[in-house]
Amino acid sequence: MRIIFFGTPQFAIPTLEQLLAEPQIQVVGVVTQPDKNRGRGNQLSPSPIKAVAVAHHLPIWQPARIKKDPETISALRDLAADLFVVVAYGQILSQEILDLPKLGCINVHGSLLPQYRGAAPIQRCLTDGVTSTGITTMLMDAGMDTGAMLLKYETPVDLFDNADRLVAKLAVEGARLLVETIGNLDRITPIPQEHSAATAAPPIQKSEYTIDWTRSPISIHNQIRGFYPNCVATFRTQPLKIIATAPLGAEFAADLPPEMQKLLPELASLDLSDSLPGTVVKIAKGLGPIVQTGSGCLLLREVQLAGKRPQSGADLVNGTRLAIGEMLG
């Protein structure tokens, strides 16, 4: 089977590598986003998928707007592919492009469709605090993740899963599910999505990284793990990235490790009625500072001071002599 692969980020790499390893499949080309300026030096860098394609000597196309690029479309048509596979490519394909391959276009999407259609399904499911998510393979149409579904894989979401960890897990499962889908394509009955049940997963905006301590501890925790590792507060007028946390409340006790469960009765004995959101109300020895939120407490497990490496909450306390009563902005 002749396949053209469309993809851009790290999430797409396991699928491309799995296709390259399958003896019955020939990847005849790769389409990815144009090189972008990345990193501290702001140097022009290829997408993760382009790096894999170069290593395997595959033909590569990087149109800025594929729907408006007749040369790329013509080149793809000439390859006479049986199937297009799309994994987090980053552009919507026109009907003209979708009609090129003999067997259509299959998308590997990081959610249980019709939930979380859009650019950031894994991040959005974490910020919403869902307890399960998964992968869906679907036949693409001209809409935004609206095509008929083929196969699904579902997995639980742990309280301490973050976007990085969940992306890595779903990327591997997505590769496996795609190969299973292709191998059974003639036996799978596509299932139309229930559009009335759809939810959106729009692109992440930088403004969403700012922490509002008046929110609940679980809401802030979900924000931090969903937008990992980018959420930021202020500490002594300087930016402080909050990388990992733990919501401390009886409703989360079963999901907390023993050393954090021991903190719950200690917090229950404190009078926090006058503590403003953002106040450090306790220092948990060996764990880090505990901050008052709008409706409970949040343990700061991992942080990063401006210009420094990430460090544990305990190291922040020791290195800055953080005291009870200090405020985070």
The per-residue DSSP string of 182-248 comes to HHTTTT---B---GGG--EEPPPPGGGGB--TTS-HHHHHHHHHHTTT--EEEETTEEEEEEEEEEE
Distance CA 58, CA 217 (A): 48
Whether pLDDT at 39 is above 80: no
Position 17 pLDDT exceeds 80: yes
Residue 42 pLDDT class (50, 70, 90 cuts): confident
Contacts of 24 (CB under 8 A, 6+ apart): 1
CB 106: neighbour CB atoms within 10 A? Answer: 23
| Distance, CA of 239 to CA of 222 (rounded, Å) | 20
Pick from 6, 14, 7, 5: nearest CA to 169 = 14
DSSP state for residue 275 in the 8-state scheme? P
151-191 pLDDT, tens digit each = 999 999 999 999 999 999 999 999 999 999 999 999 999 99
pLDDT, the chain, mean:
96
Distance CA 184, CA 302 (A): 44
Tell me if the pTM is above 0.85: yes
Q: Is the per-residue pLDDT at 100 higher than 80?
A: yes
pLDDT at 54 over 90: yes
Report cis status (omega within 30 of 0) of the bond before 229: yes
Gap between the Cα atoms of 159 and 18, Å rounded: 30
pLDDT on residue 246: 98
Angstrom distance (rounded) from CA 177 to CA 135:
8
